[in-house]
């Protein structure tokens, strides 16, 4: 059965959530097959209860295509045990003690970015997971750096097959929707989990409930949150794409600017705004930047040692779901749709 599933994955491209679940159920025997399914499986794996076998598969998936030096540092033993400290400081601590280049997602919501994390001794990968998982975070290797963020911002979701619910499932769903109004927290949590487990199949019923409006304000808010959670499973991740300027057709001025971004590296530290960070990045490099005023006010705190300017630009923009292109040697910043229109 599993052999047939693996052959099917190879033929059909990206696996579905249901196919990945079957491979996880078969661990550790299906470790190699799960790793071959690719990084597209990571978003779903991050939602599952962690076991030793699953943690090993997730590590191999995170390191797929990563520089050997990064994998070696993640596998080495670390003595960076420390009392709780603010999450952004993890960049400096791992940079100094492990020489591990790291980026904390600048666009994390304050309740995530301001959390404190605690480090214990052990293998670096285990130290990171032990610090991040309890606060709803994880890490991925992106462009040769370890990026800390939430799973939905690190990895794009897998397609999920919608299925027709049975009469029994529909009755249970309606009962669980009513339980979202109950005062008992445990009952509400169980109802939430049961509805979320239905995935896309639950969406028409959630949408109908929101349209009819039979629930109270608090239960309605929970239904809205449930709908968003289910849709986010398949949403594209912030750190799962390239910048437009890396793929665009360039004139001579654009090529000079792009070469500068690729060839120059710098040590960049800032506690300020995105516009200030972009000014720091481009200062003295022979080209100017046009960025939207509102996005430029976004707060940023980072400490990046010896980072290529193009990588710094990528992490600054991807954190805020922005993109960039070159126009006449000028760096233009905007949303992905705005940049796509500029390049048409």
Alpha-carbon distance of 146 to 24, in angstroms, equals 25
User: Both 69 and 206 in a single domain?
Assistant: no
pLDDT tens digits for 315-336?
A: 999 999 899 999 988 999 999 8
Residue 131 clears pLDDT 70, i.e. is over it: yes
Q: Report the pLDDT averaged over residues 99-124.
A: 90
User: Both 99 and 46 in a single domain?
Assistant: yes
Only one residue has tokens 């796509």, namely 340
pLDDT tens digits for 149-201?
A: 999 889 887 766 666 788 899 899 999 998 988 888 889 889 988 898 888 78
Q: What share of the chain is helix, strand, coil (3-state, %, to 5)?
A: 55, 15, 30
Specify if 237 maps to a domain: no
pLDDT given at position 165: 84
Sequence-distant (6+) residues with CB within 8 A of 190 are 179
pLDDT given at position 160: 62
Domain boundary among 132, 154, 176: 154
User: Both 304 and 173 in a single domain?
Assistant: no
Share of the chain above pLDDT 70, in %: 93
Q: Report the pLDDT averaged over residues 221-234.
A: 79
Alpha-carbon distance of 99 to 169, in angstroms, equals 52
Specify if 11 maps to a domain: yes
* CATH code where residue 84 lies: 3.55.50.30
Our count of domains for the chain comes to 3
The phi-psi region of residue 25 (left if phi > 0; otherwise alpha if psi is between -120 and 50; otherwise beta) is alpha
User: Both 252 and 278 in a single domain?
Assistant: yes
User: Both 195 and 326 in a single domain?
Assistant: no
Alpha-carbon distance of 204 to 56, in angstroms, equals 37
Among the ranges given (29-38, 61-70, 150-159, 175-184), the one the predictor scored with the smallest mean pLDDT: 150-159
Specify if 89 maps to a domain: yes
Residue from 78, 220, 215, 71 nearest 139 by CA: 71
Q: Report the pLDDT averaged over residues 68-96.
A: 87
Terminal CA-CA length for the chain? 47
Tell me the longest C-alpha to C-alpha distance in the chain: 67
User: Both 17 and 76 in a single domain?
Assistant: yes
Is-contact 37 24, C-beta < 8 A? no
Instruction: Please give the C-alpha separations between residue 30 and each of 18, 42, 47, 199, in angstroms, as whole numbers.
Output: 15, 15, 19, 25
User: Both 213 and 115 in a single domain?
Assistant: no
Specify if 128 maps to a domain: yes
Residue 23 clears pLDDT 90, i.e. is over it: yes
In which domain, by residue range, is 225 found?
167-232
Alpha-carbon distance of 122 to 127, in angstroms, equals 6
Instruction: Please give the C-alpha separations between residue 214 and each of 174, 178, 203, in angstroms, as whole numbers.
Output: 12, 10, 16
Averaged confidence pLDDT in the chain: 87
pLDDT given at position 12: 52
Specify if 161 maps to a domain: no
Among the ranges given (3-17, 134-148, 219-233), the one the predictor scored with the smallest mean pLDDT: 3-17
Domain boundary among 104, 133, 154: 154
pLDDT given at position 111: 86
User: Both 129 and 228 in a single domain?
Assistant: no
Residue 69 clears pLDDT 80, i.e. is over it: yes
pLDDT band of residue 43 (cuts 50, 70, 90) is confident
Specify if 130 maps to a domain: yes
User: Both 94 and 206 in a single domain?
Assistant: no
Residues of 132-160 as b/e, b for ≥16 C-beta within 10 angstroms? beeeebbbbbbbebbbbbbbbbbbbbbeb
- Helix H, strand E, coil C: the string for 127-194 is HHHHHHHHHCCEEEEECCEEEEECHHHHCCCCCCCCCCCCHHHHHHHHHHHHHCCCCCHHHHHHHHHH
pLDDT band of residue 93 (cuts 50, 70, 90) is confident
Instruction: Please give the C-alpha separations between residue 191 and each of 48, 99, 176, in angstroms, as whole numbers.
Output: 18, 45, 5
Among the ranges given (2-6, 55-59, 221-225), the one the predictor scored with the smallest mean pLDDT: 2-6
User: Both 204 and 284 in a single domain?
Assistant: no
- Take residue 145 and report the two structure tokens written for it: 């750096």
Residue 6 clears pLDDT 80, i.e. is over it: no
Residue 128 clears pLDDT 50, i.e. is over it: yes
Q: Report the pLDDT averaged over residues 207-233.
A: 81
pLDDT band of residue 14 (cuts 50, 70, 90) is low
* CATH code where residue 309 lies: 3.55.50.10
Domain boundary among 232, 257, 289: 232
User: Both 292 and 272 in a single domain?
Assistant: yes
Specify if 159 maps to a domain: no
Specify if 162 maps to a domain: no
User: Both 144 and 6 in a single domain?
Assistant: yes
Q: Report the pLDDT averaged over residues 34-41.
A: 88
């Amino acid at each position: 059965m599993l052999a047939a599933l693996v052959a099917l994955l190879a033929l059909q491209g990206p696996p579905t959530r249901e196919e990945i679940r079957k491979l996880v159920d078969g661990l550790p025997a299906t470790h190699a097959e799960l790793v071959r399914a690719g990084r597209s499986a990571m978003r779903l794996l991050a939602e599952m209860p962690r076991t030793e076998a699953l943690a090993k598969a997730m590590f191999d998936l995170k390191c797929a295509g990563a520089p050997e030096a990064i994998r070696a540092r993640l596998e080495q033993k670390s003595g960076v045990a420390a009392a709780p400290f603010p999450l952004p400081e993890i960049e400096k601590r791992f940079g100094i003690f492990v020489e591990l280049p790291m980026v904390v997602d600048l666009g994390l919501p304050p309740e995530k970015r301001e959390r404190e994390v605690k480090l214990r001794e052990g293998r670096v990968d285990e130290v990171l997971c032990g610090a991040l998982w309890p606060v709803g975070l994880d890490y991925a290797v992106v462009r040769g750096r370890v990026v800390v963020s939430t799973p939905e911002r690190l990895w794009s979701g897998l397609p999920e097959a919608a299925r027709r619910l049975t009469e029994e499932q529909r009755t249970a769903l309606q009962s669980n929707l009513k339980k979202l109004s109950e005062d008992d927290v445990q009952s509400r949590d169980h109802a939430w989990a049961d509805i979320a487990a239905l995935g896309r199949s639950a969406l028409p019923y959630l949408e109908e409930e929101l349209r009819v409006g039979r629930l109270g304000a608090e239960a309605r808010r929970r239904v809205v949150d449930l709908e968003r959670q289910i849709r986010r499973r398949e949403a594209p991740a912030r750190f799962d794409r390239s910048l437009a300027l890396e793929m665009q057709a360039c004139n001579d001025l654009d090529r000079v600017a792009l070469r500068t971004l690729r060839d120059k590296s710098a040590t960049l530290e800032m506690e300020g705004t995105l516009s200030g960070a972009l000014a720091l990045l481009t200062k003295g490099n022979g080209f100017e930047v046009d960025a939207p005023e509102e996005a430029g006010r976004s707060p940023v705190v980072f400490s990046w040692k010896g980072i290529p300017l193009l990588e710094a630009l990528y992490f600054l923009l991807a954190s805020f779901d922005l993109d960039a292109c070159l126009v006449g040697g000028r760096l233009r910043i905007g949303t992905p749709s705005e940049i796509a229109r500029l390049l048409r």
